[in-house]
Amino acid sequence: MMQVRKASERGVAEHAWLSSRHTFSFAGYMDRTQLGFSDLRVINEDRVAPGQGFGKHPHRDMEIFSYVLEGALAHSDSMGTGSVIKPGDVQLMSAGSGVTHSEFNGSDEAPVHFLQIWIVPEKSGGTPVYQQRHFAEADKRGRLRLIISPDGRDESLRIQQDTSVYAGLFDGDDTATLNLADNRHAYVHVARGSVELNGMKLEAGDGVRLRNPRTLQLAAGENAEVLVFDLRPQELPQMP
């Protein structure tokens, strides 16, 4: 069964410098029926004004990744990492025992549009780790490219949880099929455009919970960019 979370149902946060949509409960947005899914805790779609951003703040015991759709995101952290994340780049920060970081729009002229995603880790503590990698558009066109995995296979970023994340671009006749193992959950998020998932049309910002789906098929995309999460079979995130 596919349980759809429409883009219009998400939480809304509007500030002078930030426009954000929350798939799951976050900060001032609280919905007891939307506390996450499996180990997936946060999907925020953020648009940050030029020269603005999130000042230094702490995290611990969370796997946090950023996926930039437009513009440039400037990252700095207490591990000594400084980088700029652009479309095609995936940034993954394992907060572990504790880290502080900041995320700012890397441009003084254009906004930045990105997804901020949190996944609960397998274990608490540990040394914080930062990873970043570029995945070419050609590697995602008409297919689901593995970008994050628990073992780092296929040059994906390594996450400290039994979660795999795929990214794909779909337009026109592009199609892709993903076969999942028995007794898994999945979550599909449409980052932009529109696409059909197992015959159901989804629009930008829509998300879908799937329980033991076995097969996911994406087709009939219109400038679509999609993230697919292969998750453990539990209903809600549980902190280690």
Write down the pTM of the prediction: 0.97
Q: Are 150 and 162 within 8 A, CB to CB?
A: yes
2-231 CATH, one of 3.30.2270.10, 3.40.50.1110, 3.20.20.70, 2.60.120.10: 2.60.120.10
Closest by CA position to 38, among listed 13, 63, 57, 19: 63
> Distance (Å, rounded) from C-alpha 91 to C-alpha 122?
19
Cβ neighbour number for residue 4 with a 10 Å cutoff: 13
Task: Provide the Cα torsion 150, 204, 29, 161; round to 10°.
Answer: 0
Tokens 């900060």 belong to residue: 27
Closest by CA position to 142, among listed 220, 36, 65: 220
Q: Where are the domains of the chain?
A: 2-231
Which residues are within 8 A (CB) of 40 and not within 5 positions of it... i.e. 6 or more apart?
24, 117, 118, 119, 163, 187, 229, 231, 237
In a structure prediction context, what are the per-residue pLDDT tens digits for the chain, which is 240 residues long? 799 999 999 999 999 999 999 999 999 999 999 999 999 999 999 999 999 999 999 999 999 999 999 999 999 999 999 999 999 999 999 999 999 999 999 999 999 999 999 999 999 999 999 999 999 999 999 999 999 999 999 999 999 999 999 999 999 999 999 999 999 999 999 999 999 999 999 999 999 999 999 999 999 999 999 999 999 999 999 999
